Amino acid sequence: MLRLFSQGRHVSSSANLICVSQRLLHRSSPYLSSALEEVKQRERSLQPEPRRAKMKMSPYVKNLFRGLVDPFVFGYLELDQGSLNIAEDMKSEIHKFLESEDLSVLNSGGRISDETIAKLKELGVFKLNIAQQYGGLELTCAEMLKLCEEFSKVPSLFQTLSTHFQYISPLFSNFASHEQKEKYLPALASGDLHIGFALWEEGAGVDVSSIQCRAEFLGDNYILSGTKQWVCNAGIADKYVVFASDGDASNIGTPNAKVTCFIVDKNAEGISAKSMETLGMNGYSAWEVTFDKTVVSKDNLIGLPGEGLKILKTLLYGKFSLAGANIGLLRDLLNTTLHHSIKKETFGKPLVANDIVQQHLAEAAARLYALESITYMTADFYDNIEDPDIEAEVGIVKIYSSESMKYIAERCLKILGSDCYLTNKPYERVLRDMLFTPLVDTSVDTLRMTVALLGLKHAGSSFQEEVLHNRNPLLHPKKVMRGLFKSYVSWDREPDIDHLIFENVHPTLVNSADTLEKAIFDFGKITEETLVKWGAELDSRQMNLARLADVATNLYVCTAVLARTSRAISIGLRSCDIDGFMATSLVAEITQSIADLKDALQSSPYGNNDANYTNITKAMIHEKKFTAAHPLSRNY
């Protein structure tokens, strides 16, 4: 992977070859067929380039809260042709498997069969993201995302496999001892060993520090007691990875909570399990598992005692392959909707001839383009940045992916109409399964709080002096007066920007580049004003935290869209004109939403609806019911 940009043109060792190939594909002259075939043969013969040394980069999204632009990020992801060939070949094999295998039973509540698992083992699916020294393929995050797009065609199957990709393989690769790696990783890579993931409980979903499952240390063993829900892959598992509290019970649910990770044999005494019936994802192997004084050896700890929350932070914020699956699922849904609107006629003309239908399709396409852009940009950071500080970026990808599921599905379902409510149509499954991400896998509101607090903590150290002066004006009159005078002089002027984004994207994107840079500059000012206004109270101002997170999300989306579009135009992709339309419309729409969020932040709580919402909710809490009188009520 290369990250180079020179005079508005992306450069890589295989970029020229790709550019020639795409331009030849765009032409139809029969005289070029032999040249085109030669280029294709050369592309297919290329081997992956050696992995390059990772680079250092400051956290991008966190710096947005300081109003800073990092031009480094505008050289968009570039896979070398050899790596791209391998990813495409593997995706093709997965596609053939999904087409040939009858997996319809998963959609009707059936479980993945031993025969299907055997075929997945033969295909090499379980070794994808495990290190080569343990028999794996060690694919990068970007390569994994491309394959997850294909698996998304059977969502229940993907959810089963994603437990292995997102939790089990990274857990053992990064936190297991050398002996545990030697023992378990080869078996995981071959598919001979399946491990269930037991983390969540009825009262411990988002807040994993509230885990009630207890582990008491006695002699050389731990005694596990408690019940886990949503235990992924328990139905096919040979062992479980279990997270349990092992510290003072009074610390459960507090920052001082101690959680430890264990490997537990499925057949150990005191374990019982039952399947959970779900609304959607009917083939998803989710179980409730109870541990009744189950004995676990101290040698079966993963990591150190009390290190479980640290492990979980890495796993839960490092998993965004689900976004890749959502991309594949949404792309298929959009294509199906498009074909439906072309074929179906209403009032003597195709449905797609109506401009409102065209608007729904375009909005869905633009949103999908944005989701693809931020997902693969974040994968690039994960793969190529040394010790990447991307917790905020990953949170944003999960937020945007979850909301895009609803946004795109809603527009497609409007076009598809009543067919969506018929069980013999494929859309009914999409309608059910689209609820899984926002309700089960991702708590969007919690992620918003996390993104905002991460950014504010990062910005707070930079704005500390300004915030101190403005919150204590009588102690620093000169500083405050100087700031007020500066604000008065510049209040009606456009902010001075350095055109850093324009210098690092294609020249045709100059307007969008400058618009984005001004928005980032303004966001730094908004962050400073927010810290001055609310100070330590900001933790409890969750509506404002959500707005700050939404602004950061929108800015990151604009960044990724511009970087991707710049690459598309620079290397001459066949769709680069469409990329340009996407970027222009998205940046214009997003910057308008940023302006609205800015107004809401600056006027909170009485200049917007925050105070009204609070009063309404307080009244309902007091009455313990919906408080408004019935429309036909009377008091006379």
CATH (domain of 160): 1.10.540.10
> pLDDT per residue over 140-196, tens digit each?
888 889 888 888 888 778 878 888 888 899 999 999 999 999 999 999 999 999 999
The answer to whether residues 328 and 398 belong to one domain is yes
Segment 278-285 shows an average pLDDT of: 65
Does residue 12 belong to any structural domain of this protein?
no
Among 138, 164, 190, give the residue marking a domain's end.
190
Segment 238-248 shows an average pLDDT of: 88
The answer to whether residues 175 and 247 belong to one domain is no
**SS3 annotation, 1-43:** CCCCEECCEECCCCHHHHHHHHHHHHCCCHHHHHHHHHHHHHH
State residue 243's pLDDT score.
Answer: 93
Does residue 564 belong to any structural domain of this protein?
yes
The answer to whether residues 186 and 212 belong to one domain is no
Segment 185-211 shows an average pLDDT of: 87
User: Across the chain, what does the average pLDDT equal?
Assistant: 81
Does residue 149 belong to any structural domain of this protein?
yes
Segment 523-540 shows an average pLDDT of: 80
> pLDDT per residue over 288-338, tens digit each?
999 999 999 999 999 989 888 888 887 765 566 778 888 988 998 899 899
Q: Tell me which of 44 and 5 has the higher pLDDT.
A: 44
Q: How far apart are the first and last CA of the chain?
A: 77
The answer to whether residues 345 and 276 belong to one domain is no
CATH (domain of 388): 1.20.140.10
The answer to whether residues 379 and 399 belong to one domain is yes
Can you tell me the distance from the alpha carbon of 235 to that of 278, in angstroms, rounded to the nearest whole number? 15
Task: For residue 19, count other CB atoms closer than 10 A to its CB.
Answer: 16
State residue 4's pLDDT score.
Answer: 36
What pTM was estimated for this model as a whole?
0.85
Which two tokens mark 106? Answer: 């998963």
Which two tokens mark 233? Answer: 């892959």
The answer to whether residues 182 and 63 belong to one domain is yes
The answer to whether residues 268 and 186 belong to one domain is no
Q: Which residue has the tokens 């029969």?
A: 30
Does residue 634 belong to any structural domain of this protein?
no
Does residue 454 belong to any structural domain of this protein?
no
CATH (domain of 241): 2.40.110.10
State residue 107's pLDDT score.
Answer: 58
Does residue 101 belong to any structural domain of this protein?
yes
State residue 468's pLDDT score.
Answer: 54
Does residue 613 belong to any structural domain of this protein?
yes
Three-state DSSP class for 271? strand
Enclosing domain of residue 391: 319-434
- Domains of the chain: total: 4
Can you tell me the distance from the alpha carbon of 124 to that of 121, in angstroms, rounded to the nearest whole number? 5
CB burial of 551-584 (b: ≥16 within 10 Å; e: otherwise) equals bbbbbbbbbbbbbbbbbbbbbebeebeebbebbb
Residue 589 has pLDDT above 90, yes or no: no
The answer to whether residues 347 and 361 belong to one domain is yes
- Phi (first) and psi of residue 176, to 5 degrees: -70, 155
The answer to whether residues 130 and 215 belong to one domain is no
Q: Which residue has the tokens 């908004």?
A: 526
Does residue 440 belong to any structural domain of this protein?
no
Region of residue 270 (left: phi > 0; alpha: psi -120 to 50; beta: else): left
Residue 46 has pLDDT above 60, yes or no: no
Among 158, 190, 222, give the residue marking a domain's end.
190
The answer to whether residues 208 and 94 belong to one domain is no
The answer to whether residues 330 and 347 belong to one domain is yes
Can you tell me the distance from the alpha carbon of 83 to that of 519, in angstroms, rounded to the nearest whole number? 36
